[in-house]
Amino acid sequence: MKIKHIKYVILINAIALVGIILIQFFWIKAALKLSENNLDRDVNEALNKVADKVENSEKFRKIIRGLNLMKNGDEDEYAESINEVFENLPGTFHSEPGNTDKGDLAIYLNKSLKKFYQRRSQIADSIVKELMVTDFFTYKTVEDKLEGINIDSLLRSELSFKGINTPVEFGVFEKLQLTKIHSPGFDPNLVQYKTMLLRHDVMSPPVWLYVYLPKRNQLLFKNIQWLTLLNFLFIVIVIISSFITIQQMLTQKEISRIKTDFINNMTHEFKTPISTIFLATKNLTNPKILVDQERMKKYVNIIKEENQRMNQQVEMVLRLALLDKKQLQLRLESFDMLEIVNEAINHMKFRIENRSGRIEVLNNATNTRVFGDKEHIKNVIINLLDNAIKYSFEELEIQVILNSPAPNELHISIKDKGIGMTKNVVEKIFDRFYRQSTGDVHDVKGHGLGLSYVMEILRLHGAKIDVDSAPNKGSTFTIKFKNQ
């Protein structure tokens, strides 16, 4: 897939993700609004129930108080009217069955019942008039009217019946002024709901019950918490899976590019020595060359060198394959690092001489012995020397410096005066297949495996490598060992 197409896929995926997140956000918002409406409805219904119970309690108290105001004479007259009815009923001791005319009895009983109902009506009217006169001429505060009524208990009971179990604060207002009837933590600035109390009491100013739920928001979110959590979880899963998918696409794209580059580089690396060997062998068949020992020796050395270079390329790939499979076996032993450095230099001597270069070894170490696999360590030094040669285009001058900054440490620095590197390049040079570009992809021979191999071998030995480089000022690779 082309990088352009990958960008389109990423863009479409990002738009889809944003769309899904927005839709989920609106769904949660709608669910929250519905939860809020349901809560407001339930609270208002509970407040109306509280107002009705307060109203009924006040009416009941007025009736009891009215009955207490009745005079004893009224009670006697009411009782006499009741007795008069029952005394004239057939079968009572005041009526004689033989002498009673049924028609006269019916008339008399009717008059007695009428008198009874009239008296009861008069008593009820007197109670109402007495209460009205008392309320009109006697001023009573809200505290007096609501005495004995537990507003807090009524509120909690009605809210609990609606399934609302949360702290509640309330306050009773008269003429927009807070009365003494309120909860301890009530704050008038936080009021969320209100309802009128004593609605039918025309003799007193409006009385309002103001209420708020301190944990209203927590209650709202609690009602939709599972919906919110599930939505959030699914969004996170979609984002992570999309990110992983895109990352895999980019990785596969990079791997494809690296493979193509690697094949091209390997083809170039093999094609050049093969062509050189072909020309050298062809010249060796020339009778004139066969009689010239010097020229013959030169062509043989060329074949040997090119064959050795191809062998190194194959060995490098095989070693990295073993490292990947964790099948590389190290032959650990104690050896002299100075000897290994000299062997590596001898291995590269022909190339250095062909470039008219110079290499210098400075031994400032007090102890040059190291415990490790000397063949792989020698390959590490050879790879670093090979890099110093390849990236020194004009002046080939290399220094190998051995130091002992501490009694149990050995540092080997390979310093060149080549083209150097930027900090961005230094961070990538140990990545597999990475090669510093200087123009054409094949302007510097190699396939980007050398430094990756160096890093892996040093890691297996518990050693470290630092790089100090700057463009046009050369590079210094410093290996840090713990010596024995």
pLDDT band at 477 (very low <50, low <70, confident <90, very high): very high
Residues 246 and 162 in one domain: no
Residues 159 and 243 in one domain: no
Residues 279 and 356 in one domain: no
Residue 53 to residue 156: CA distance in whole angstroms: 13
pLDDT band at 272 (very low <50, low <70, confident <90, very high): low
Residue 348 to residue 62: CA distance in whole angstroms: 117
Residues 447 and 357 in one domain: yes
Of 218, 243, 262, which residue constitutes the final position of a domain? 218
Residue 370 to residue 361: CA distance in whole angstroms: 18
Residues 160 and 134 in one domain: yes
Residues 213 and 248 in one domain: no
pLDDT-wise least confident of 109-118, 157-166, 251-260 = 109-118
- Is the pLDDT reported for residue 467 higher than 90? yes
Q: Is residue 318 situated within a structural domain?
A: no
Q: What is the pTM of this model?
A: 0.46
Domain span at residue 397 reads: 331-482
Residues 328, 322: contact at Cβ < 8 Å? yes
Q: Is residue 56 situated within a structural domain?
A: yes
Q: Is residue 14 situated within a structural domain?
A: yes
Domains identified in the chain, total number: 3
Q: What is the DSSP string of 143-192?
A: HHHTTT--HHHHHHHHHHHTT--S--EEEEEETTEEEEEE-TT--GGG--
The pLDDT tens digits of the residues spanning 406-415 come to 888 899 999 9
Tokens standing for residue 119: 């008296």
Residues 208 and 236 in one domain: no
Q: Is residue 317 situated within a structural domain?
A: no
Residue 347 to residue 147: CA distance in whole angstroms: 109
Residues 276 and 400 in one domain: no
Q: Is residue 316 situated within a structural domain?
A: no
Residues 340 and 287 in one domain: no
Residues 265 and 335 in one domain: no
Residue 329 to residue 155: CA distance in whole angstroms: 80
In the predicted model, what is the mean pLDDT of residues 177-181?
84
pLDDT band at 75 (very low <50, low <70, confident <90, very high): very low
Residues 212 and 237 in one domain: no
Of 279, 298, 317, which residue constitutes the final position of a domain? 298
The pLDDT tens digits of the residues spanning 312-323 come to 667 766 666 666
Of 197, 218, 239, which residue constitutes the final position of a domain? 218
Amino acid at 65: R
Amino acid at 379: N
Residues 154 and 31 in one domain: yes
Q: Answer with the residue of higher pLDDT: 60 or 142.
A: 142
Which residue has 């390959």 as its token pair? Answer: 379
Q: Is residue 341 situated within a structural domain?
A: yes
The pLDDT tens digits of the residues spanning 430-466 come to 876 666 654 443 455 555 667 888 888 888 888 999 9
CATH number of the domain residue 451 falls in: 3.30.565.10
**What's the pLDDT at 19?**
85
Q: Is residue 436 situated within a structural domain?
A: yes
Q: Is residue 303 situated within a structural domain?
A: no
**What's the pLDDT at 436?**
60
**What's the pLDDT at 398?**
92
Which residue has 């599972």 as its token pair? Answer: 226
Residue 258 to residue 264: CA distance in whole angstroms: 10
Residue 173 to residue 191: CA distance in whole angstroms: 12
